[in-house]
């Protein structure tokens, strides 16, 4: 296992084989905003919040999918990176109907947390106000498209951890939406095992439990790493 | 194995089409990777991809239904709704756009009472769809009437051709 | 047609037969000509020859795109003794004319003098053909005619005389760069794949030609499929692959049909398959059909599509050359890039490097379209000026109008205004003025085009083709498009221009793939060179070109809600 040394915001650090820049940042107390990343799930580099500057590359690289290489010179923050992160969150808020005041995840929402983190306090772009629907056909859970940011964590957890692959994404572009089975109401999706993993990984109030609707959600997402360690290494560590 | 897929287009040949679809899948050794090729075959056989056909394909290739649906809806070429008996495809590539394809599209849609969201007439006789480029830029504006590509037509000519379909 | 005949034997036999024939008539079977009855013209000539008893002594066949699509059907005639063949090129040949032509040839041995020969015109003489060299000579549906013109001789040379690394070196020395748009050095890509570690390598030909306004690849695949297949096989030999895929978009059914037939014919002659030319080299090619997604022209999205999934791109690195199809090293090259390979191997890299400019070698096929006299397909050496292309070969702007701009690179490119008409067309020069070579679509616009409208057209395209995976592109193209819709309806303001520039910067730098990264190019380019038009729209609510309906219509008041989610 080769260890690499590189510069992280000017500070020399060491990285293990296959370690991502995101992991490296966390290890060294450097905070990077993320939304599509979740420990325990594969990384897709989709939200673009964790982009960092690497000397020698004219492209910004997503920290979650970029492996640390020997001699890299990584900058995790700059005026322009800050501006991009803010704008990305603005675009998200403008894309669907994220009205926090009436949302079950209010106060426990990763989108809100990221907005605070990147300093987004107003949205300059036109609110799209798409017509969205709520799917409450499942006996225990609800899907609210208005809150979905298409992070695909639900798709990945259902595919990679529960392996039922109930969730996927239909259509393309801004018309994309998450679907269950043959785009049937969730309650009719035969493949769903009601395990609730998708609820737990969802960063916003798009997926929530009916019985928690009134009191609000609070989600513990650490269970994924717990399961993975158990399954892959035979270790149950809390 | 599965019920005859409800098809608004052709009343005959349901069983035969299913056999041909199964043969197509067999040719691909029922590999999950061949999903797009199989969807193409199904679209050719049935004219569109119904829920039953998609489910059957998913079961045969052992691909989860949501993935089949996700793939089928990603690509422009696949249609989950039956198309009309005739299809008028207006090319909206750059060359055609510059030569007035926008006007042709508008006129043809108006003539048939169609829009961006509604692409097939209620009686199922005709559909108007947009192609992003059929590669006939040399004869722009290009309009495809069923399988036949025609170039350099004005809006009136296109409209009268289409009128002939619904009369 | 025995599988044991050598290429040379087949070529000799065919060429001798052709030389003996009294005459040869080739009818262009490109899409443009097909749409105006080329098929019927072909049949007419054949019928007349049969009637005159000359069926055996004449050769009448289909051939690939001759390039001048608005003047079809295009027919070329060749006649005379073996040492002194003459040729004439005719345009707008309808059935009656074809019959007259055939009759005259049959009775007098030469075509009628009254028919005008266009072969000497600038459109045809000013071009330099490498990729399109066989148009007029071969019948794409008959492999022997292609072999007679040299098909597969380069493959034979490569696998029997050269080592794989030597072939890679040839391509590197030639200076060939990717013709799909990015201009990446082809030799470098081949070398990377050749050196990458993997159990099975793949060669993929990217025939997804999604650029609206481009049909170069289509014409090559339909008109000379063996040229592409041979290029793929040589590439496979060079990088160590045994399996190839040609990914062709669904909108090109004729290309798919011709390719499938060509592959079968090549397999029958053992030019594809196992133990090619009795060596240890095996190479199989399968056709994969696209399904209408522009994003699938992007390499990682193309891979996802061949793997049977949604065409969403993946972060790079890792690059496909190292980890592509099913995680294996995969060489992905554009159709036109591969179409150059055989010629380079046959004639040597120095020959290729002698054409073009210092950094852009060889030729480029362009699809000339828009407000130009001669619309169609041309192939010119890199470095020819835009003026020569548009005015000498293209015949200038019809209707006495003024040239306003040329758009290259499709939705990923920018506009070139009149001040750069003397720009040499090569990779670097185009980049410097804010556009890209792109795949070869070259749309000419005159004073009747509104550049803001053009920008809106392209961003609308990107919005619809965005895969939706990453936020900047998915949500950003919507925002940019909405702003341009407002501006073109007279509802824009100066702040909108600032927003456009901010969004452009965001998408270019943070999008996951080339679609999002280059989507703002048409907007940025038109603001750069036609800022006054934008200012007129937002400050005066006026469209100088008279294209945009500036009445502040209700359609613009509600920015496009084309998508209702769920």
Q: Which of C27, C31, C36 is nearest to C99 (CA)?
A: C27
Q: Identify the pLDDT of residue B14.
A: 62
d(CA C215, CA C440): 8
Do residues C151 and C226 make contact, with C-beta atoms less than 8 angstroms apart?
Answer: yes
Q: Which of C425, C423, C422, C421 is nearest to C436 (CA)?
A: C425
**Count of other CB atoms within 10 angstroms of residue C156:** 18
Q: What is the three-class DSSP state of A228?
A: helix
Q: Are residues A134 and A174 in the same domain?
A: yes
d(CA C508, CA A31): 24
Partners of chain B (3+ Cβ pairs below 8 A): A, C
Thinking of the domain B86-166, which architecture would CATH place it in? Answer: 3-Layer(aba) Sandwich (3.40)
Tokens in use for C363? 């030729």
The H-or-E segment that residue C368 falls in is: strand C363-370
**pLDDT tens digits for A2-21?**
899 999 999 999 999 999 99
**pLDDT tens digits for B9-33?**
433 456 799 999 999 999 999 999 9
Within 8 A of B54 by CB-CB distance, chain A residues are: 182
CA atoms C114, C118, C121, C126: torsion sign: negative
d(CA B143, CA B150): 5
Total domain count for chain A? Answer: 2
Pairing type for strands A141-144 and C403-408 reads: unpaired
Within 8 A of C462 by CB-CB distance, chain A residues are: none
The answer to whether position A145 is within a domain reads yes
CA atoms A64, A68, A72, A74: torsion sign: positive
Q: Return the percentage of chain A with pLDDT > 70, whole number.
A: 100
CA distance C363 to chain B (A): 20
Q: What is the three-class DSSP state of C21?
A: coil
The answer to whether position A174 is within a domain reads yes
Range of the domain at A158: 102-232
For residue A117, give the CATH number of its domain: 3.30.70.20
CB contact (8 A) between residue B137 and residue C445: no
Q: Are residues A59 and A119 in the same domain?
A: no
| Exposure letters C428-457 (e unless 16+ CB within 10 A, then b) | ebbeebbbbbbbbbbbbbbeebbbbbbbbb
CA distance B58 to chain A (A): 10
Distances (CA, A) of C414 to A19, A151, B102, C410, C527: 39, 32, 21, 8, 10
**pLDDT tens digits for C272-296?**
999 999 999 999 999 999 998 999 9
Q: Are residues A119 and A218 in the same domain?
A: yes
Q: Identify the pLDDT of residue B124.
A: 86
What global pTM score does this model have?
Answer: 0.93
A44, A77, A110 - which closes a domain = A77
Q: Are residues A110 and A224 in the same domain?
A: yes
Q: Return the percentage of chain A with pLDDT > 90, whole number.
A: 89
A41, A61, A77 - which closes a domain = A77
The answer to whether position A48 is within a domain reads yes
**Chain A contacts in chain C segment 307-326 (CB below 8 A):** 310, 314-315, 317
CATH number of B6-74: 1.10.10
Q: Where in chain B is the domain with CATH 3.40.30.10?
A: 86-166
Indicate the residue of B66, B73, B74 with minimum beta-carbon distance to A181.
B66
What is the rounded average pLDDT of the residues C395-402? 94
Q: Identify the pLDDT of residue C35.
A: 86
Q: Are residues A170 and A56 in the same domain?
A: no
Q: Are residues A152 and A222 in the same domain?
A: yes
CA atoms C228, C233, C234, C240: torsion sign: positive
Residue B7 φ then ψ, to 5°: -125, 130
CB contact (8 A) between residue A172 and residue C463: no
Q: Which of A93, A130, A96, A99 is nearest to A115 (CA)?
A: A93
d(CA B17, CA B27): 15
Q: Are residues A108 and A202 in the same domain?
A: yes
Question: What's the mean per-residue pLDDT of chain C?
Answer: 93
Q: Identify the pLDDT of residue B167.
A: 75
d(CA C75, CA C504): 47
Q: What is the three-class DSSP state of C26?
A: strand
The answer to whether position A126 is within a domain reads yes
Q: Nearest chain C Cα to B64, which residue?
A: C309
Q: Are residues A121 and A7 in the same domain?
A: no
Q: Return the percentage of chain C with pLDDT > 90, whole number.
A: 86
Which of these ranges, A6-15, A206-215, C83-92, C352-361, has the smallest mean pLDDT?
A: A206-215
DSSP string, C124-154: HHS---STTTTTTT--TT-HHHHHHTTTTHH
pLDDT interval class at C258 (50, 70, 90): very high
CA distance A25 to chain B (A): 34
End-to-end CA distance of chain B: 40
**pLDDT tens digits for C119-173?**
999 999 999 999 999 988 999 999 999 999 999 999 999 999 999 999 999 999 9
Query: What's the gap between Cα C255 and its chain centre?
Result: 12
For residue A54, give the CATH number of its domain: 3.10.20.740
Partners of chain C (3+ Cβ pairs below 8 A): A, B
Q: What is the three-class DSSP state of C60?
A: strand
At which residue do the structure tokens 């002194």 appear? C84
- Interchain CB contact of A191 with B (< 8 Å): yes
- Interchain CB contact of A160 with B (< 8 Å): no
Q: Are residues A155 and A201 in the same domain?
A: yes
Tokens in use for C16? 């001798």
- Interchain CB contact of A167 with B (< 8 Å): yes
**pLDDT tens digits for C374-394?**
999 999 999 999 999 999 999
Q: Nearest chain A Cα to C480, which residue?
A: A125
Q: Is the pLDDT of residue B1 over 50?
A: no
Beta pairing partners, C58:
C23
Q: Where in chain B is the domain with CATH 1.10.10?
A: 6-74
Q: Are residues A107 and A180 in the same domain?
A: yes
Q: Are residues A217 and A117 in the same domain?
A: yes
Q: Are residues A196 and A118 in the same domain?
A: yes
Q: Return the percentage of chain C with pLDDT > 70, whole number.
A: 96
Question: Which segments of B28-64 does DSSP mark as H helices, in order?
Answer: 35-46, 51-61
Tokens in use for C372? 């130009």
Q: Identify the pLDDT of residue C2.
A: 52
């Amino acid at each position: 296992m080769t260890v690499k040394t590189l510069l992280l915001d000017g500070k020399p650090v060491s990285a293990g084989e296959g370690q991502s820049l995101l992991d490296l940042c966390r290890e060294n107390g450097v905070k990077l905003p993320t939304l599509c990343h979740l420990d325990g799930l594969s990384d897709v580099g989709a939200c673009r919040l964790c982009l960092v500057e690497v000397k020698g590359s004219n492209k910004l690289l997503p920290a979650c999918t970029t492996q640390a290489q020997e001699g890299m010179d990584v900058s995790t923050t700059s005026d322009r990176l800050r501006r991009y992160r803010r704008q990305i969150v603005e675009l998200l808020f403008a894309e669907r109907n994220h009205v926090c005041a009436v949302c079950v995840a209010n106060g426990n929402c990763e989108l809100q947390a990221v907005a605070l983190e990147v300093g987004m306090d107003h949205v300059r772009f036109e609110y799209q106000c798409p017509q969205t629907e709520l799917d409450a056909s499942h006996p225990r859970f609800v899907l609210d498209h208005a809150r979905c940011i298409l992070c695909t964590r639900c798709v990945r957890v259902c595919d990679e951890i529960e392996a039922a692959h109930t969730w996927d994404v239909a259509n393309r572009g801004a018309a994309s939406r998450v679907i269950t089975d043959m785009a049937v109401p969730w309650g009719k999706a035969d493949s769903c095992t009601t395990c609730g993993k998708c609820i737990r990984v969802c960063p916003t109030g798009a997926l929530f439990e009916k019985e928690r609707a009134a009191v609000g959600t609070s989600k513990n997402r650490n269970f994924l790493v717990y399961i993975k360690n158990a399954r892959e290494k035979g270790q149950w560590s809390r | 194995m599965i019920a005859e897929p409800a098809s608004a287009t052709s009343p005959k040949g349901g069983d035969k089409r299913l056999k041909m679809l199964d043969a197509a899948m067999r040719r691909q050794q029922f590999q999950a990777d061949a999903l797009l090729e199989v969807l193409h075959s199904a679209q050719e056989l049935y004219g569109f991809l119904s829920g039953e056909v998609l489910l059957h394909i998913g079961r045969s290739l052992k691909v989860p239904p949501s993935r089949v649906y996700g793939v089928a809806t990603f690509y422009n070429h696949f249609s989950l709704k039956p198309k009309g008996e005739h299809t008028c495809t207006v090319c909206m590539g750059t060359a055609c756009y510059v030569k007035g394809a926008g006007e042709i599209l508008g006129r043809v849609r108006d003539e048939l009472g169609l829009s961006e969201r509604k692409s097939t007439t209620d009686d199922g006789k005709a559909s108007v769809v947009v192609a992003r480029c059929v590669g006939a830029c040399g004869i722009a504006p290009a309009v495809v009437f069923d399988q036949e590509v025609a170039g350099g037509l004005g809006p009136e000519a296109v409209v009268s051709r289409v009128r002939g379909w619904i009369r | 047609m025995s599988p044991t005949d050598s290429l040379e034997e087949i070529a000799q036999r065919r060429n001798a037969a052709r030389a003996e024939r009294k005459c040869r008539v080739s009818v262009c079977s490109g899409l443009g000509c097909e749409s105006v009855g080329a098929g019927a013209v072909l049949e007419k000539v054949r019928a007349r020859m049969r009637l005159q008893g000359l069926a055996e002594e004449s050769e009448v066949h289909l051939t690939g795109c001759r390039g001048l699509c608005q003047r079809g059907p295009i027919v070329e005639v060749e006649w005379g003794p073996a040492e002194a063949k003459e040729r004439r090129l005719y345009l707008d040949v309808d059935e009656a004319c074809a019959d007259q032509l055939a009759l005259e040839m049959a009775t007098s041995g030469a075509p009628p003098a009254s028919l005008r020969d266009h072969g000497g015109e600038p459109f045809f003489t000013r071009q330099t053909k490498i990729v399109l060299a066989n148009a007029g000579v071969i019948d794409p549906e008959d492999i022997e005619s292609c072999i007679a013109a040299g098909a597969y001789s380069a493959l034979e040379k490569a696998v029997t005389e050269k080592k794989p690394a030597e072939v890679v070196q040839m391509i590197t020395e030639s200076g060939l760069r990717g013709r799909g748009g990015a201009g990446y050095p082809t030799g470098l890509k081949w070398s990377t794949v050749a050196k990458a570690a993997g159990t099975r390598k793949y060669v993929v030909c990217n025939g997804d030609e999604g650029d609206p306004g481009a049909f170069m690849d289509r014409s090559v695949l339909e008109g000379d499929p063996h040229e592409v297949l041979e290029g793929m096989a040589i590439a496979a030999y060079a990088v160590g692959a045994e399996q190839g895929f040609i990914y062709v978009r669904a909108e090109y059914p004729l290309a798919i049909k011709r390719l499938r037939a060509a592959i079968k014919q090549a397999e029958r002659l053992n030019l594809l398959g196992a133990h090619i030319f009795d060596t240890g080299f095996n190479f199989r090619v399968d056709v994969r059909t696209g399904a209408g997604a522009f994003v699938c022209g992007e390499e990682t999205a193309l891979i996802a599509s061949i793997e049977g999934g949604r065409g969403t791109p993946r972060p790079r690195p890792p690059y496909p050359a190292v980890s592509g199809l099913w995680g294996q090293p995969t060489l992905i090259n554009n159709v036109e890039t591969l179409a150059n390979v055989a010629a380079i191997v046959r004639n040597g890299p120095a020959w290729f490097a002698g054409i073009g400019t210092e950094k852009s070698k060889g030729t480029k096929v362009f699809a000339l379209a828009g407000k130009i006299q001669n619309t169609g397909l041309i192939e010119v050496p890199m470095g020819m000026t835009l003026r020569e292309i548009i005015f000498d070969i293209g015949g200038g702007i019809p209707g006495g109008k003024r040239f306003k701009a040329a758009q290259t690179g499709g939705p990923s490119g920018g506009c070139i205004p009149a001040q750069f008409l003397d720009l040499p067309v090569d990779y670097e020069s185009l980049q410097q003025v804010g556009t890209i070579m792109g795949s070869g679509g070259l749309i000419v616009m005159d004073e009747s085009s509104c550049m803001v409208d053009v920008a809106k057209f392209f961003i609308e395209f990107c919005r619809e083709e965005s895969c939706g995976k990453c936020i900047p592109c998915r949500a950003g193209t919507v925002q940019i498009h909405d702003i341009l819709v407002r501006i073109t309806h007279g509802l824009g303001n100066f702040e909108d221009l600032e927003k456009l520039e901010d969004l452009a910067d965001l998408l270019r730098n943070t999008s996951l793939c080339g679609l999002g990264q280059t989507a703002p190019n048409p907007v940025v380019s038109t603001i750069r060179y036609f800022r006054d038009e934008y200012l007129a729209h937002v400050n005066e609510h006026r469209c100088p070109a008279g294209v945009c309906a500036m009445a502040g219509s209700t359609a613009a008041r509600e920015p496009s809600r084309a998508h209702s989610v769920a």
